Amino acid sequence: MALNDYTTALVTGASSGIGRAVVERLAARGLRVHAVARRKQRLDSLAKKTGCVPHVIDVRDLDAMRFAFEDEKIDVLVNNAGVGRGHESLMRASDEDIEATLHTNIDSIFNAIRVAAPSMIARDRGHIVNMGSWAGLYGQGSTLYGATKGAVHLLSQNLRLELLGSAIRVTEICPGRVRTEFAEKAFRDTDFAREFNKAFRMLSAEDVADAVMYALDTPWHVNVTIVELCGVEQATGGVQVKRGARRGSSPSARR
């Protein structure tokens, strides 16, 4: 099955950024789109613009997700909900930041898959798109956020194996920096967040939505397993070295 054969989609984290852009793209293609987020006013605005079906739900709440979607026949699931709280340092992150990032970035994906995938399996049709990140593929200095996106990467790989033999496709989208609300919510230092968003010409939410649509639009026998994309002024790789204050001393000499 390809996008033209699908009729219904579910997008999480739909009230802004990448999720909103994906809802707009899917609705423009004629799909009935269920848009899930926590901000009612923004969802209502999106529904007015696109005709999507708004759902004010915390994606971390499995019971709420089941109540809303267990009887729906979802063809396309886009797991976009995510946060980056505690991004600067695991050691300085609050308990609340750690809990929010772990549960939003990991639990929400499991919840949505557990709700949407059984119907896909029963009908032998569907496409699951998980929003990963460069941070889940390469070390970038954010222990907490990188770990959650690394979990998304292995989840996608293993889910593809679990569904092997069916017509259900699994795609992971891994962008570098994207100009969204991410920075202002991830960093406590507002000045740093502002500079983070101005560092270079980053991807837009629409750029990432284009990658999602590319994966959905391929013929039924093609599974775009992973898409990496970044701004042309960004790259990853190399080795970093930073010597400590006691240069040249061995661990035993420090005791």
**What's the rounded Cα separation, in Å, for the pair 112 and 91?**
30
Q: Verify whether residue 145 is a known catalytic residue.
A: yes
Phi-psi region for residue 20, left (φ > 0), alpha (ψ -120 to 50) or beta?
Answer: alpha
Q: Which long-range contacts (CB under 8 A, 24 or more apart) does 155-158 make?
A: 155/106, 155/109, 155/110, 155/130, 156/130, 156/132, 156/225, 156/226
Residues catalogued as catalytic:
145
